[in-house]
Amino acid sequence: MKSDKVRIGFERIPHRSLLRALGHTDEQMKRPLVGIVNSESEINPGHMNLGKVAAAVRDGVLMAGGTPAVFQTINICDGLAMGHEGMRYPLPSREIIADSVEVMAQAHAFDALVCVTNCDKITPGMLMAAARINIPSIIVSGGPMLAGCVKGQWVDLSDAFEAVGLYKSGKITEEELAEWENSTCPTCGSCAGMFTANTMNCMAEALGMALPGNGTIPAVYSERLRLATEAGMKVMELLERGIRSRDILTMKAFENAVRVDMAIGGSTNTILHLPAIAHEAGLELSLHTFRAISQKTPQLCKLSPSGDHFVQDLYWAGGIQALMKLLADAKLVSPDALTVVGRTHGEVWKEAGVEVKRSDVIRAVTAPYRPDGGIAILYGNIAPEGAVVKKAAVDEAMLQHKGPARIYYCEEDAVQALMEDQVKKGDVVVILNEGPKGGPGMREMLAATSIVAGMGLDRDVALVTDGRFSGATRGAAIGHVSPEAAENGPIGLLRDGDIIKIDLLNGTLNAELNDEEFDRRRDEGGPPKLREVSGYLRRYRQLVTSAATGAILKG
């Protein structure tokens, strides 16, 4: 075993001495060493319960004959980072998380790994590390938050952001605004809609890297702790059988995950994270693959922010396993992909008798919400390398839109213009210099999209950016435009008044400009000089690649 390097032989007396300082007995030092990375913190509601989850994993490892070793990694709450300079850090933190898990696992020669996670960049960061290290590994999430309730209606964090726009437009009072504040996030867990955190925890399950139920069992349910205990036991079985992460993370697994992503109408941020995880597994997952799968995958769920259901509803409907079986029956998912259960998806479904329990939450393949996937990939003269939109959350009236560009060079300027009523119906708000390099950090711009929705403009105003949007976003919000302005992409050459044509039905994004005009503007100089940054963000800017390739780092 890998941990023999720190446990076996007379030359390892210093190593064993350090283990004894931890209180380890002879028996503990004979057993496999299992790392449990816990991203618990007191600043993130999605992670405040992870102490109990990690303790349950630890119990499972002990019960199955392993020696657990718990260590920590960082986490950022995207909601708290939203709308200010702090949002430059969540995407870059993904790389720190992956690196820190690798460093700890390799330095201490862990035989296996269980990753206790929950939120937006933490889950993909841990999946990247698991693929990179390639030892037996399981992902365990802390679970989704339950929805809140305001005036008899179920709500979540996206509604709290939109309440700002409602208040700004005089649709609710200050007292009602306070009610939204106090009621939208009622429990611990990852925010209750199909935002990035819950999407990625569902992706871990679809990839086969997490146990059934990982994506949907509510954080406050004791079933979540039972799942964690089982994960601790199951990782020992994977170790005994020699099943490593890359045995599970095959191209077939990634295609399954993309298919599930499209069927549930998941967050556009998966278009960054799944390619990055695939890259660590030695595979290439391109935007063209996403587009091809989306065009052939029906959207079967309509969860917040796209619809009125929440992740708890998907849990009651049978969860990701029921959805995958439905897709497999329609020959859209491969049931023979291996999972951390140690068996294939199909074998797991058969043994558990998996079935859809609520057809209003998971629709039949023959009666979908739409015939294609919830995420669309667009191409055109603004985005020659691609752009991404959560089509599932776009009003039918905005699937095709044509209007004048309103150019802003950061999110703050766009938000100010919206708050001052400078943006009119029909406009296309274009936000530049917010990409991976330009930001740097590719900020989510939930504040801008929520104000648009809250003010009732989501049927009339589109947003286009080289940055990205939160999984909680709804409306015609097109992000990930590549190449970004900071890499001399054509989006950086747009000017106020240019006519932008958005066609989500045909997957195109164009400006009514010819090549000669683009060349002329490029010769005149592109967008303003990038903002100065220091520390980690400066290093990140130097190393990060295009959003079209998952914003992975060079080298």
Taking the mean position of all CA atoms in its chain, how far away is CA 477?
17
In sequence order, what are the residues at sequence separation of 6 or more whose Cβ sits closer than 8 angstroms to the Cβ of residue 271?
287, 290, 375, 377, 388, 480, 547, 550
State the CB neighbour count (10 A cutoff) for residue 258: 25
Upstream peptide bond of 440 is cis (omega within 30 degrees of 0): yes
Helices marked H in 90-195 — which ranges? 90-107, 122-133, 157-168, 174-183
Q: Distance of CA 41 to CAs 119, 239, 535, Å?
A: 12, 29, 24
Q: Distance of CA 89 to CAs 408, 478, 505, 537, 541, Å?
A: 21, 21, 34, 8, 12
Upstream peptide bond of 305 is cis (omega within 30 degrees of 0): yes
Active site residue 17: no
Phi, then psi, of 115 in degrees rounded to 5: -105, 115
| Type of residue at 10 | F
Edge-first strand order for the sheet with 386-389 is 376-378, 386-389, 477-482, 462-465, 428-431, 400-408, 499-503, 508-511
Q: Strands 400-408 and 499-503, how do they pair?
A: antiparallel
Annotated catalytic residue, options 470, 482, 534, 546: 470
C-alpha–C-alpha distance, residues 158 and 447, integer Å: 10
C-alpha–C-alpha distance, residues 164 and 399, integer Å: 25
Helices marked H in 330-472 — which ranges? 345-352, 411-419, 446-454
| Catalytic machinery residues | 470
